[in-house]
Every structure is written in C-alpha cells, then in structure tokens.
C-alpha cells in the first residue's frame, strides 16, 4: 500500500518545510501549499488523506477553506487546524465545520505526529465501519474444503500479491464479491480502502460522475476511483457499465490518470481494479456492448468461479456456516440439519448457487420451530422454490384471446425473471434481451411496479 498523502497548507515557509521534513521522515507522502490558491490546486491534483491547515493566511483564511471544502455535513478527509493566534471561538467554529483537531503554534512536533496518526486511524476506522454497514456483514473469505475451493483460494492468494487488474467470472450467486474482498484482504493494499460499486445500481447518465467525480470552480467532488486510492476498487456486474464510462475507465487504466467531469487537468490513479460479471464478455464485445480495449485491460488475471453444483460436497459446511452466521448476526434461533436433510441439499442442483443456499437457510431458521431441520421440511422448501419457478405458466386459460393470454404469460414470465434478478432492472433487461427503456414501458403496461414487484 502507498503511504498516506498529507497536504500541508501554511504561509510561513519555515514551518511548511519543517513539517514536511518531519512527516516524510515518518514515511508519509507530503505536498505543501503556501496559500489558499495553491491548496486548492494541490487538492484538485490529488485527493489528500489528511490536511494540515493554517488558519491565518493572506488570501483566504483556513476557516473559509473549511467551509468551501465541506461536502454536505462532512469533510472528504481529516483536517487538522494550526494557528499561533487562535481563540476559543475559532477552535469551536473549526470543530463545528468538521475539523478533527486544533493545534497551537509554536508546534510541538511530538503532539503533531500523534494527532496526525490518530486522525488517520480514526478516518480509516470510520470508513471501515461505514463499509461494513453498507455491505451488511459480507463474508470475509470463501467457505468450503473441496478440492475446487481450496485450489481457487490458493490461486487468489497468489494473485493477491501482484497489482494487476482482476476479472472475476461466475454465475449469479457464486460469491464474486467474497472472492474480491478475500483478494484485497491478502494483498499489499489490505490497509487501504475497499470501495465497491454495484454498476447496475447506478443510473447510466450518472456512471461517469459516480466513478470519476467532478469539478465546478473551486469545488471538487471525489468519485469512487479516488475514494479507493491506495486500495481496491471493486466493480460488480461490470457489463452493466455504459460505453461512455467504459471509455473513461479504459483511458484511466491505460494512462494512469483521468479527468474529472468538468476538470481540465489529469488526476493520477493509484488503485487496483477488480471487476466481476456473470456475462460472456467476449460475446458482449462481439455485439458491440462492451469495449474490446477495456476487456483486455481488465482480463489480465481472470478468475473463474465454479457453480455450487460443481463442488456440491461443500454443501454441509456451507449449511453449518450460514446457520452460525444467522444465529450470530441476526439473533435467529439455532437449528441443525439432520443427515437426511443435508443429503437432500446435496442432491439439489442449486441454480441460484451459494446465494440461494444462504437464503434457504435463513428461511428455514425463521419459519421453523423445532431444533432439527428435517428432510420433509427441506423437501417442502425445495419444492416451493421449484413451484415458484414454474408458477402459473401452465394454468393460463386457453380460451382467452391471444392478446390477453400473451399478457398473462408475459407478466408471469417477467415477474419470475425479476425475482431471479433480485429486483435489478439492469440484469432483467440483459436476461430478457430488452433495452431498459422499452422494458420499463413493458412493465408499466403489464401493471408491474419495479419498486414493489418483489413484495407480490
């Protein structure tokens, strides 16, 4: 992982140089700025991990810069204020605006280093906690002792030691994000951020803004690419990315820099990209839906995840793992699978892979009351899944006019596909082969509300 990047803003050259030398001796990367204009330019050129900011400067004071840099109710990185003429009111105002701490001049270098270290640690911890809440307790590493999983784990551990882009292929539900996090956790970038982007959940017109950020005058919005600086950017369902964002990402990977939306000067890239998809990207390239240059840039080290049916011997361990997971994380009552129930699970094809198994375990723990999960209970649950997959298609009356019969079939068909896509309209459009605008129009015509369809 690269060293934390610190911006020192002070109009006194002796202080700037002294602080820079001491911080660099401690292993930090440091840039200095002598006034607000230089600070704006340095911050635009590269996103700092921390800013040391003098309050009294000739052009614009530090408090004004704090207000300018605030994004809503927070600052994009920790800011430590410095002043030789500070007052209680100034310190209170700086804290109200989000400054981490206030240090008086003449500076105690021991105190400065301790405050910098604590500020970076607090920021890192806050990001980790936020990421954990967002990901709803994602599994830390792959589960399974089969030869397939053990070989895959060893492959990922080898790949983790290098910094090349990674492309993870696999059917929906095979655990692509789990393997991406496992890769990051065992890489030299492990202490850096892991920023995940569900590409399909971003509106196409906002994809470039979300990934690359923007500039408007002196205001800078850092995109996900810069938020992942020093760590890993995970792009889930990469094939959902629009061609414009694909072009910008291909250029960023090729040149090691990119332009924010509205920006005029390039920004350096310091991130490892791990991307995932369940689609055949070679086919997507062939039909013009995916850029060939981006495919080859990301496909440096491909990782192919097997469907659960190819390592079915891991089912008992997965069942035990998810029982413990839901007992610990959600407070559900412990239940254990009988041997017959486990064997029934081993003989099921698992079209939804590990995600389907996880959801089934959760359902059985919630709905069942006995300590044992029996064969009959599992059999009923599996038959229920199969029944849902075939629901009502064979019960459409054959005496209807063709238009009405077709509408009933289309509604049943799209509802089932929508469930299997877990409410993701972008995946649904890809699965049924429709352009997204036309799909929305079709859903409205059939009386399907995408926001409520999964509750039906």
For the stretch 194-211, pLDDT in tens is 998 988 777 667 788 889
Q: Which residue has the higher pLDDT, 25 or 432?
A: 25
Fold match between domain 5-134 and domain 393-455: no
Q: How far is CA 84 from CA 130, 215, 435, in A?
A: 35, 33, 62
- How far is CA 407 from its chain centroid? 38
pLDDT tens digits for range 316-344 = 999 999 999 889 888 889 999 999 999 99
Task: Please state the domain extents for the chain.
Answer: 5-134, 148-304, 308-389, 393-455
Q: How far is CA 23 from CA 43, 99, 100, 149, 320, in A?
A: 18, 20, 18, 44, 49
Q: Assign domain 308-389 to a CATH class.
A: mainly alpha
Q: Is 192 helix (H, G, I), strand (E, B) or coil?
A: coil
CA pair distance 276, 198, nearest whole angstrom: 10
pLDDT of 454 over the 80 cut = no
Q: At what angle do helices 425-432 and 402-420 cross, to 10 degrees?
A: 130
pLDDT-derived band at 385 (thresholds 50, 70, 90) equals low
**How high is the pLDDT of residue 216?**
84
pLDDT of 43 over the 70 cut = yes
Comparing 2-16, 28-42, 315-329, 390-404, the range with the smallest average pLDDT is 390-404
pLDDT-derived band at 387 (thresholds 50, 70, 90) equals very low
CA pair distance 442, 102, nearest whole angstrom: 58
**How high is the pLDDT of residue 113?**
94
Q: Assign domain 5-134 to a CATH class.
A: alpha beta
Whether domain 148-304 has CATH 3.40.109.10: no
CA pair distance 449, 340, nearest whole angstrom: 41
* Contact between 99 and 74 (Cβ < 8 Å): no
Pick the CATH number of 393-455 from 1.10.10.60, 1.10.40.30, 3.30.559.10, 2.10.210.10: 1.10.10.60
* Contact between 385 and 344 (Cβ < 8 Å): no
Q: Which residue has the higher pLDDT, 168 or 72?
A: 168
Q: Which residue has the higher pLDDT, 85 or 146?
A: 146
pLDDT tens digits for range 139-172 = 668 999 999 999 999 999 999 999 999 999 999 8
pLDDT tens digits for range 210-248 = 899 998 877 888 899 999 988 999 999 899 898 999 999
pLDDT of 272 over the 60 cut = yes
* Contact between 309 and 349 (Cβ < 8 Å): yes
């Amino acid at each position: 992982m690269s060293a934390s990047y610190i911006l020192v803003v002070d109009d006194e050259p002796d202080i700037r140089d002294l602080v820079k030398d001491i911080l660099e001796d401690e292993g930090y990367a440091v840039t200095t700025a002598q006034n607000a204009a230089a600070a704006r330019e340095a911050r635009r050129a590269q996103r700092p991990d921390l800013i040391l900011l003098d309050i009294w400067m000739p052009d614009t004071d530090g408090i004004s810069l704090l207000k300018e840099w605030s994004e809503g109710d927070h600052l994009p990185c920790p800011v430590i204020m410095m002043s030789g003429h500070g007052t209680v009111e100034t310190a209170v105002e700086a804290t109200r605006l989000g400054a981490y701490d206030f240090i008086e001049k003449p500076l105690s270098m021991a105190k400065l280093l301790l405050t910098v270290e604590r500020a970076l640690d607090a920021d890192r911890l806050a990001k980790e906690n936020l990421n954990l809440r967002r990901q709803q307790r994602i599994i830390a590493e792959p589960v399974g002792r089969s030869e397939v999983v053990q070989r895959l784990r060893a492959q990922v551990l080898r790949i983790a030691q290098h910094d090349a882009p990674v492309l993870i292929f696999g059917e929906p539900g095979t655990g692509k994000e789990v393997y991406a996090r496992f890769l990051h956790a065992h890489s030299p970038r492990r202490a850096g951020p892991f920023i995940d982007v569900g590409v399909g959940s971003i509106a196409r017109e906002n994809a470039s803004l979300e990934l690359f950020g923007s500039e408007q005058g002196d205001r800078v919005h850092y995109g996900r690419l810069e938020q992942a600086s020093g760590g890993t950017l995970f792009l889930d369902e990469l094939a959902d990315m629009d061609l414009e964002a694909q072009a910008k990402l291909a250029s960023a990977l090729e040149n090691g820099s990119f332009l924010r939306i509205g920006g005029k000067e390039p920004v350096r890239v310091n991130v490892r990209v791990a991307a995932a998809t369940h689609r055949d990207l070679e086919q997507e390239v062939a039909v013009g839906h995916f850029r060939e240059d981006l495919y080859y840039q990301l496909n440096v080290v491909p990782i192919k995840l097997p469907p659960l049916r190819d390592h079915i011997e891991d089912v008992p361990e997965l069942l035990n793992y998810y029982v413990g997971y839901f007992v610990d994380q959600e407070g559900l009552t412990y239940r254990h699978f009988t041997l017959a129930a486990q064997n029934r699970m081993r003989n099921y094809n698992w079209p939804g892979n590990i995600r389907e198994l996880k959801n089934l375990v959760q359902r059985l723990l919630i709905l069942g009351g006995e300590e044992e999960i029996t064969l009959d209970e599992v059999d009923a649950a599996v038959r229920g899944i199969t029944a849902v997959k075939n629901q009502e298609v064979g019960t459409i009356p054959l005496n209807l006019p063709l238009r009405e019969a077709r509408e009933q079939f289309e509604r049943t068909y799209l509802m089932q596909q929508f469930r299997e896509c877990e409410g993701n309209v972008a995946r649904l459009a890809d699965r049924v082969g429709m352009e997204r605008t036309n799909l929305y129009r079709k859903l409205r015509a059939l009386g399907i509300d995408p926001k409520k369809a999964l509750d039906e």
